Structure 1
């Protein structure tokens, strides 16, 4: 049975954030809000947690997770970028973007693209997400909460709790959450390629 934690969207209660982080550190799977939509997350190295997320979404082993980071300094530990790409991304974060970049050795092998050796990273513009990642002290391995056969992500925390009660450990709810997935920009070749148009403004990368 999942623990349901209702947190304030602008001043998240430290106790609730700490409870969610304890679940993550205990190899749990947590549902949490972001500026794009709710996400499923676990910690780096939690292979079982990644398998659970794939099972919830009915995804195969080729699914690419995203590293949700606290800030640019943390993001830069996990990806390579030249000065031009650095400036372009720095100007866009925090925000509703996922960037695909060459992975550093800090990224576990099972997270990187097997051929391209890339990984998706993002820094959400959401107070609750920021508090969660700050308390954890490392990125959250994440995937959008989009259930099989559904076109739109789930948007209500109480409904998520009801439907995923037996397959996740914590539902961290907040009334302030986006409803559209991120814009995905591939910078792996040094120039921006729009992979998916979502909630982030794509014009800055055209």
Structure 2
């Protein structure tokens, strides 16, 4: 049975953060708030956890388009190829913020993603998940929590999320009501910048 634990963004309780980090290190799955919708994620180094996430999303792991949540831009060189100056300036302007940037992956990507040529990078403007990632010491793989309802695309109430997901994940973090607009996805892998999905983040940042 999973847990539902409350965290406050302006002052996340270190004991609860430590619990979340330990669950991730043990190969568990957590649901957490971001600056957009609630997300589902695991430690990027735990292959079995990655497989669990892929199974929940009903996709094959090698074909899944999961994003990496990083604490800040300092993690990027570990997983993506060298970024040109104009692209880096865009990242600096936009992050932390409600954006997913698609970048070219390098040879250091975790084993499960070796065949992927690109990776989506997120640095949400949310202190709860960024604190967890910082304490973990490496990014987490992330995917949005969808709702089965035909009208409501994303569930915003963490207690309802817990009711639906408690048998499938190890921890749900209650960080208050979430948003219902996903991140803006921007592809920086080619010379021409492509807005893949217009979401919460204004495209004027480009």
Indicate whether the TM-score tops 0.5. yes
SS at match of 1:135: helix
Q: Distance in 1 between matches of 2:89 and 2:186?
A: 14
Equivalent pairs, count: 203
Q: Distance in 2 between matches of 1:66 and 1:112?
A: 14
Correspondence for 1:73: 74
Q: CA deviation at 1:181?
A: 0.8
Correspondence for 1:141: 141
Any stretches of 5+ residues in structure 1 without a counterpart? none
Q: CA deviation at 1:174?
A: 0.7
Match of residue 94, structure 2, among 82, 92, 98:
92
Q: CA deviation at 1:74?
A: 1.4
Q: CA deviation at 1:75?
A: 2.5
Q: Distance in 1 between matches of 2:49 and 2:170?
A: 10
Q: Does 1:48 align with 2:67?
A: no
Q: CA deviation at 1:160?
A: 1.4
- TM-score after normalising by structure 1: 0.91
* C-alpha contact (below 8 Å) 1:64/1:113 kept by paired residues: no
SS at match of 1:40: strand
Q: Distance in 2 between matches of 1:109 and 1:83?
A: 29
Cα root mean square deviation, aligned: 1.7
Q: Which range moved further: 87-96 or 43-52?
A: 43-52
Q: Distance in 1 between matches of 2:166 and 2:110?
A: 29
Q: CA deviation at 1:158?
A: 1.0
- TM-score after normalising by structure 2: 0.91
Q: Distance in 2 between matches of 1:152 and 1:112?
A: 31
Q: CA deviation at 1:190?
A: 3.3
Q: Which of the two has greater helix per residue?
A: 2
Correspondence for 2:85: 83
Q: Distance in 1 between matches of 2:114 and 2:87?
A: 19
Displaced runs of 4+ in structure 1, greater than 6 A? none
Q: Distance in 2 between matches of 1:177 and 1:89?
A: 24
CA deviations on 1:10-67 (whole Å, 9 max, x unpaired) are 1111111110010000000010110011101111122221222222232344221101
* C-alpha contact (below 8 Å) 1:100/1:120 kept by paired residues: yes
* C-alpha contact (below 8 Å) 1:33/1:174 kept by paired residues: yes
